[in-house]
Amino acid sequence: MTLVLADVAPAPTDGAIGTVIAVLLGVGLLVLMLLVARKLFSRGGTTTTPTLPSQTTVQPTLQVPEKPKVELPPSEAEAKAKAEAEARRAEADRLKAEREALEKGSAEATALKAKEEELKKEAYRAQKQAEAEEKERRKREREESDRLAAEEKRKAEEAAAEAKRQAEAAAKAKIEAEAGATLAAGLAKTKSEGFMAKLNGLFGGGPKTIDDKVLADLEEVLFTADIGVKTASSLVEVARDKAKAKELDSAEKLKGVIRKEVERIVSLKTNTAMKGGGPPHVIMVVGVNGAGKTTTIGKLAAKAKAEGRKVVLGAGDTFRAAATEQLDVWAERAGAELVKGKEESDPASVVFEAIKRGKESGADLVIADTAGRLHTKANLMEELKKVKRVADKALPGAPHEVLLVLDSTMGQNAIAQAKQFHESVGITSIALTKLDGTAKGGVIIGICDELKVPVAWAGVGEKVADLRKFEPKEFVEALFEE
């Protein structure tokens, strides 16, 4: 049996142990440095977060026309200075070459050196002069470029203004071209079937002595008309006073007295320009359902847009869904902006938002529709009062107009309606609709007399132009002229 003994290594010395430890520490330090470097590299690679396509925001590019580039030819002084500088430099270079060919330090070389230096100075001065001339030329180029740019801008603005004017003129001409019935045509039934027919019957038949019987007949005619009892009594009293003063000796003179009184009654100042407050000028439109309120608003918006004004409509009649839909159609047709709320939302909040939008967008006119029917008459009037208060909060002083839309076919009932609305919200003017379909146009006289509120608009048809500015003289002529 053979026994193999392993080699036994000699015991390590202290120096060997130190060397091993040093190597291990070095290796550990190297590994640590590699790990740190890798970590830093990893962080560096994620510093910038890539932008995904969906995160990319494309900013709109403003198309600014380039400024005209102006290049002026060098002036005679600039060209001369540049040529002189070149000539001096060329001469200096020639003398330098000639000097270098001579023996250094000789008298002739020294003289050439002096002349060379002088030429360099002259070349420098000429160059500076040329640069000054060039700077002046660049200045003139900039000034001319700015002048041309300003001229182009002016022409562009004039062209835009002219295009706008033509568009407005075309829109206005279109409305005028679509004009239908005149006020006289709209009052045709009132004249042929209403109280004017009875008056003409009373005054007709040639000369007539004005006695108590004629005055009694006049009183009967007026009291059965739609002008209202108070106004009828007032007209009769004026006629009686004139008769007592012996100022009436014919039916024609009596008719003249009635005509003059009617013209005095209806000649109240009103604002048919739809501006003056704000901006924006705010009109609050009130009236019962069915009077033509929403249609009147649409026609007023179309008229204002045809005059080049920016219009915002407020759909404040939130209790009737059809009102908002109808106003939406009118807004699109007229090119006006519509502010609306949810069905049965707070009307006052919609009007507030409409006025706020009008202020933010720089609108000239805000027209606010309102409810025409709530559960009770008291509720309606309280709601309208609230709308009016909120409008003033949105824009102090608003509404600048409270326009009441009345259906003229209602006759004396329209006068009663007008009184109720006037007591609640203080109406400033009236739009009387459907005059072309009734013989009760005399209601205009009673409204103006009893409320002292002017009729601003008269509706005599379906077209935009058929909502006409009410002209007192035109009204009187339409009634009394044969």
The pLDDT of residue 332 is above 80: yes
List, as one string, the DSSP characters of 232-245.
Answer: HHHHHHHHHHHHHT
CA atoms within 13 A on the CB side of 267: 9
Residue 299 has a pLDDT of 92
pLDDT of residue 207: 55
If you average pLDDT over residues 155-165, what whole number do you get?
89
341/299: higher pLDDT = 299
- pTM tops 0.85: no
The rounded distance, in Å, linking the Cα atoms of 425 and 434 is 24
Rg (CA), the chain: 47
pLDDT at 374: 61
Tokens representing 340?
A: 């609306």
- Cα–Cα distance measured from residue 313 to residue 331, given in angstroms and rounded to the nearest whole number: 7
Band of residue 44 on the pLDDT scale cut at 50, 70, 90: very low
Confidence of residue 466 (pLDDT cuts 50, 70, 90): confident
- Can you tell me the mean pLDDT for 225-234? 83
Give the integer Cα–Cα distance in Å for 371 and 287.
8
Cβ pair 426, 211 in contact under 8 A = no
End-to-end CA distance of the chain: 161
Q: According to DSSP H, which parts of 275-433 are helical?
A: 293-306, 321-334, 347-361, 377-394, 412-425
Q: Give the separation between CA 376 and CA 320, rounded to whole angstroms.
A: 15
